Amino acid sequence: MRFVNRTKGEQVLEEKKRMEELVEILDRAARVYYSGEDEIMSNYEYDKLYDELTELEKKTGIILAGSPTTKVGYETLSELPKETHIAPMLSLAKTKDVGELTDWLGDQKGLLSMKLDGLSIIITYEDGVLTKALTRGNGEVGEVITNNARTFKNIPGRIPFSGRMVLRGEALIRYSDFEELNQGSGDDESIRQYKNPRNLCAGSVRQLNNEVTAGRRVRFYAYNLIELAGEGDDLPSLSEGSKEDELTFIHSQGFELAPYKPVTGDGLASAVDVFAKEVAESDLPSDGLVLTYDDIAYSKELGRTAKAPRDSIALKWQDETAETTLIDIEWSASRTGLINPVAIFEPVELEGTTVQRASVHNVSILRELKLGIGDRITVYKANMIIPQIESNLTGSDTCEPPKRCPICESETELVNENGSTVLMCPNEACYAKQIRALTHFVSRDAMNIDGLSEATLEKLISKHYIRTCEDIFHLEKYRDEIISDDTMKIREKAFENLKNAIESAKKASLPNVIFALGIRGIGLATAKDIVRKYPDITLSGFLSITKEELLAVDGIGENLADSVIAYVNNDRNRELVEKLDSILQVSTPEISTSEAVLDGLTFVITGSLHTFENRSACKESIEKLGGRVASAVSANTDFLVNNDIHSTSSKNKKAKALGVPIITEAELRSRMEAIFP
């Protein structure tokens, strides 16, 4: 073996090369994170690489241009207007050591608060009314999202204070709302592209169409007063006094606060332990804690660095990790063609639960982790919630993406998507695509064909009675075979019901048909936006839509526009749409130009109706006026519509328990006077 002595210069060059790699990786991760797209690495992985870069900068004395250690955020990329902040929105210094946190606080009184994992927002109220809302952007310049902020579920429409108040807080989507939106009625299929509440929130807050934002259940939690101007002896001072007094004043104006506790050095460690338990059970996404000095005058004396204030510090969670053995990589196919890797490992206990699976997200991360079957790996729960692989102790790097689709055996393709390598099945006839695409096509918010469950579709496909969506409308020619086939379990009466459902589905609304096509990222809400923008468009005319026309639709950006164009430029898709156009009687829904008097309100409809033909007609009327109809009563419901307000039904009971008003059909119509005078 030959030993080579490296000179100091060679060592610095190697370290500089590694720094360049880290800057590139972190920059790409930040770009995806701040634009609200799916992350390419977890917070844990980002922090680890960030800390490595920081240490190399200290060691070498070199800070590369564009290093994330010198930047607060990432440049805004959307078409929203931009505006300079009245004061920079800085990042926080961070630690994972509670002892370091205690030393930092010293003999001062502090406020320890939950570090919420959403999108930082600065809002301004003047004369009691919300006049401006800005995202963090790059820390100096943010995006103007005032109209979107007005749709946040818990933000005050008017406050008692009549002067000027500027405060900072976090826009977020609660875990319960995120799960409900993902499993809900399917009004917005694009929600399912987001893996966690933080990403969905970032994408929702930055929508060009605030109707989309209104349906995403975004909430605002305040944590800092930036400016206060007005008259009165009771106003908290921004130059002296207590930050807790500031928070009390903010709360008195109707704002919800980020959960916090007053602390001193002696009780800080126990307060952190209490928060750790609360965070694990909380409905609010959180990625750590924030400690700030309570004394405002003392905080002002400390000033700030170019990147962070000196009066606050963040504690990042020391995630509980466990060592285990990788058993397998499972490749899961979807109707969009993506084949996603999932790690299967020997079960371990983490944060009180048994874990044996973790998403690897894409091929890029699979390769970065150098995974191989039998490798010893460490796993953790990101923010104590989502199982992730932390590191690979073996690094055998023997796992390769399958050359063929696990479902249809077609040759797979590696595709670059947003800077990451993903595995795709290009076969349009892939069984996984067929099942999921057809299930989507017949679903309630698409073609709404009762009697065609996923299990039934699987049997019809296996018998070759159905191959494409078009074949559903010719199913009657296989009537005798289906009825006589014992494995199908569809007898004459059931087949007649199915036939009638298929016949009824031929009369369809254009947004529902566009949604039914299963274009990646296009949900029902977006389909409605397209038709609202171009009310004269037909189903066959949709095939001629241009990218420029799509980009003119609120809420559609480059990625969604490219997705639609890729779909309509595909010969197989064009042929299908043209055949459907010849079969279906497609109507364009009436677009109300009246004021959206129900904008941002969520309704649940139950019981019998007297003046509406059915619940679908009632729902359609509500949606025309900007409202939303949900299937279940929750804390996010504004009104339960029930002509029997004294009913003891489960929905009435839940509405009363949650304080949700129960209104009759007549009361609903009175709120819809723009359409029903």
Residues annotated catalytic, as ranges: 115
Residue 140: both structure tokens together: 């100096």
Residue 21's contacts (CB-CB under 8 Å, 6 or more residues apart) are none
Sign, CA dihedral 185-191-197-202, equals: negative
Residue 374: both structure tokens together: 């039998």
DSSP E strands, 334-367: 338-350, 353-359
Backbone angles phi, psi at 22, to 5 degrees: -65, -40
Q: Please answer whether residues 172 and 284 qualify as being in contact, where contact means their C-beta atoms are separated by less than 8 angstroms.
A: yes
Residue 16: both structure tokens together: 């500089």
Residue 94's contacts (CB-CB under 8 Å, 6 or more residues apart) are 47, 288, 313, 314, 315, 316
Look at residue 321 and give its three-state secondary structure: strand
Residue 436's contacts (CB-CB under 8 Å, 6 or more residues apart) are 334, 335
| CB < 8 Å & 24+ apart, contacts of 350-358 | 350/320, 350/321, 350/322, 350/379, 350/380, 350/381, 350/387, 351/280, 351/320, 351/381, 351/384, 352/280, 355/322, 355/379, 355/381, 355/387, 357/387, 358/387, 358/388, 358/389
- DSSP bridge pairs for 224: 168
| CB < 8 Å & 24+ apart, contacts of 403-410 | 405/333, 405/339, 405/430, 405/432, 406/331, 406/333, 406/339, 407/333, 407/431, 407/432, 408/432
What is the rounded CA–CA span in Å between residue 71 and residue 138?
8
What is the rounded CA–CA span in Å between residue 226 and residue 124?
10
Strands 119-126 and 164-172: antiparallel
